[in-house]
Structure 1
Amino acid sequence: MIANRATAIALGAAGVLAFSTSAFSQTCTQKVPDSLLVKPGTLVMSINPTLPPVQWVDDKGQLRGLHVELGEAIARKLCLKPEHVRVEFSVMVPGVQSGRWDMINTGMFFTEDRAKIMQLVRYGYDGISISAQAGNPLKITKPEDLAGRSVSVEMGGAPERRARELSKSLEEKGLKPITVRTFDNFATAYQALRAGQVDAAVSVDAVARLYGEKGEFAEAVPGLYPTLIAFGLKNKALAEAVAGAMTELKADGAYQKMFVAYGRKLYEEPFDVKGP
């Protein structure tokens, strides 16, 4: 089953169950000129590997997960070597704008504001989830149950923005606001929950679901604010090449097999570029 597969990956069984795009046609079809790239012959991508099962680091120090595999498949389609740079999400947007990497590949939420400052290629969906301590001792089952409580969240991304919006909405209902505590990444945000420093953690659906399946935390409130996710790039020509690679990956079935294997909803619209 999909859930079992994801759990096994996060437990270190990648050698047995990890999906491999090498089983599909990975013909080099688009030659990208070096003038569009940060490093000749290489697609340099930023990633924050603290979100199993979509992006994480195994016990051998290797990057694993859906976004890793997808980025590697795109690079191969573009006749490029894939290279992932591990950084916190808070530096990804300024990093792509300043030319430190070619592409943000971390399941970044699509927003119209981001489309005003960089090129975005939408390719999937995700949502916000609230995780509670194992067993859910505080009985958190709806957003209102967070009134007057504290939550941890990764700084700088959509989950933090949504947590603050949720707090404001509770105040508008006459309830106590949420104390939002930000951390460098989701891993440390969950560590704070594990240590009892906060009452809940705000993350994304895929991460909360996996932790719930493993029994480490309770997936208390899933599926809030369902949103498109996108790759982010500075260069429009390179973004169009990435969109073309995604179209080819869907045509040969690799895109569908990757997303189904990880239990993710398929993006049914054409892969196009939206940006300034």
Structure 2
Amino acid sequence: MIRFAGLMLSLYAATCLSGVASAADCTSPVAASDLIKPGTLVMSTNPTLPPLQYVDKSGALVGMRIELGTEIAKRLCLAPEFIKIEFDAMVPGLKGGRWDMIDTGIFFTPERAKLMQMIPYEMQAISISVQPDAKVAISKVEDLEGKTVGVEIGGFEETKAKAIDAELKKNGGHGMTIRTFDSFALAYQALRAGQVEAVVSIDGVAKEYADRGAFKRAVAGLYPTPVALALKSKPLADAVLKVLDAMQHDGSYKTLFDRYGVVPPSGALAVQGPAS
């Protein structure tokens, strides 16, 4: 259930000086009628996925996708503004006109592309994290049989966890106990506290926690799937696509992805969504 009351964590206006200068010094190709706020690209993000999107110790919103969203706004001559919100409010908020773009790496599915404009721009896969001193070895999804597993609610990871559970039961097992959390940060806290035995998350997040030495990435690279930027407006989606194409051409796209170890999809990028 979408819990808008109390769900909004905060409004973070992440407007960098270069973005302000660009918005003032050039004319945006995006019509004001295709934006929530004139002169501004309003983006939603759930900042619980280090190093892709998170709040650092100083309270600043940082990460690969934040940098990408800021650069897109700059090249569109718009001021970037980020709204920090939990994942399960993302799509309803986009459809309700609360923001222009979902900048959280929402997993692409044909069903979602019927609801909004999507630009698959990144590949992500699933990892299984355990405590560093976990006594039970997990090296494949079948080893999750009988385990209590944590996952962030409402996303691709929860869908895949349920699919694994169904497959285990289909093969004669009892399946898993799946516990959902409002964020991956809470899921990993539960793992640290021993309330769950594993966490199913995206590779980037699991790697970040493993690099810190906090948890061990037992399995990685499961179900590689494209993730996307999502937009309500087709003209805005087309304009964002042109920016991404330009970033690929000038090398800044690859530079950003390489710095964070993120894999781009093969082939040309494209907008996929309703005709209007």
Kindly provide the CA deviation profile for residues 11-48 of structure 1, in whole angstroms up to 9, marking residues without a partner as x.
xxxxxxxxx9x8xxx89685211110001100000001
1:93 maps to 2:91: yes
* In 2, Cα distance between equivalents of 1:28 and 1:221: 47
What corresponds to 1:228 in structure 2?
Answer: 226
The alignment partner of 2:48 has SS state of: coil
**Superposition CA RMSD, Å:** 1.6
* In 1, Cα distance between equivalents of 2:228 and 2:27: 22
* In 1, Cα distance between equivalents of 2:268 and 2:244: 9
What corresponds to 2:114 in structure 1?
Answer: 116
TM-superposed deviation, 1:253: 1.1
Q: 1:30 to 1:249 in 2, by over 3 A?
A: farther
Asked if the contact 1:28/1:76 (under 8 Å) is kept, the reply is no
* In 2, Cα distance between equivalents of 1:75 and 1:135: 44
The alignment partner of 1:60 has SS state of: coil
Q: 1:189 to 1:148 in 2, by over 3 A?
A: same
Opposite residue 102 of structure 1, the aligned amino acid is D
Opposite residue 69 of structure 1, the aligned amino acid is E
Q: Any residues of structure 2 matched to 1:88-167 within 5 Å, and which?
A: 88-167=86-165
Asked if the contact 1:163/1:180 (under 8 Å) is kept, the reply is yes
Opposite residue 229 of structure 2, the aligned amino acid is F
* In 2, Cα distance between equivalents of 1:53 and 1:40: 30
What corresponds to 2:174 in structure 1?
Answer: 176
What corresponds to 1:32 in structure 2?
Answer: 30
The alignment partner of 2:137 has SS state of: coil
Asked if the contact 1:130/1:201 (under 8 Å) is kept, the reply is yes
Asked if the contact 1:131/1:202 (under 8 Å) is kept, the reply is yes
Asked if the contact 2:29/2:239 (under 8 Å) is kept, the reply is no
**Equivalences, count:** 253
Opposite residue 256 of structure 1, the aligned amino acid is K
Opposite residue 56 of structure 2, the aligned amino acid is D
Q: Any residues of structure 2 matched to 1:164-243 within 5 Å, and which?
A: 164-243=162-241
* In 1, Cα distance between equivalents of 2:268 and 2:239: 14
Asked if the contact 1:43/1:80 (under 8 Å) is kept, the reply is yes
Asked if the contact 2:28/2:78 (under 8 Å) is kept, the reply is no
Kindly provide the CA deviation profile for residues 207-231 of structure 1, in whole angstroms up to 9, marking residues without a partner as x.
1011112110110111111000100
Structure 1 gaps of 5+ residues are 1-19
Opposite residue 85 of structure 2, the aligned amino acid is V
* In 2, Cα distance between equivalents of 1:181 and 1:163: 10
What corresponds to 1:5 in structure 2?
Answer: none
Kindly provide the CA deviation profile for residues 41-90 of structure 1, in whole angstroms up to 9, marking residues without a partner as x.
00000001111111111111101110000000100111100111000000
Asked if the contact 2:153/2:182 (under 8 Å) is kept, the reply is yes
Asked if the contact 2:144/2:176 (under 8 Å) is kept, the reply is yes
* In 2, Cα distance between equivalents of 1:33 and 1:192: 46
After TM superposition, the score normalised by the length of structure 1 is: 0.88
* In 2, Cα distance between equivalents of 1:191 and 1:35: 43
Structure 2 gaps of 5+ residues are 1-15
Opposite residue 147 of structure 1, the aligned amino acid is E
The alignment partner of 2:68 has SS state of: helix
Kindly provide the CA deviation profile for residues 70-127 of structure 1, in whole angstroms up to 9, marking residues without a partner as x.
0001001111001110000000000000000000000111001100111001111001
Asked if the contact 2:53/2:66 (under 8 Å) is kept, the reply is yes
Asked if the contact 1:244/1:271 (under 8 Å) is kept, the reply is no
Asked if the contact 1:28/1:77 (under 8 Å) is kept, the reply is no
* In 1, Cα distance between equivalents of 2:232 and 2:93: 10
TM-superposed deviation, 1:142: 0.9
After TM superposition, the score normalised by the length of structure 2 is: 0.88
Kindly provide the CA deviation profile for residues 146-185 of structure 1, in whole angstroms up to 9, marking residues without a partner as x.
1011111110000000000000001111112111111111
TM-superposed deviation, 1:135: 2.8
TM-superposed deviation, 1:141: 1.2
What corresponds to 1:50 in structure 2?
Answer: 48
TM-superposed deviation, 1:266: 2.4
* In 2, Cα distance between equivalents of 1:90 and 1:129: 21
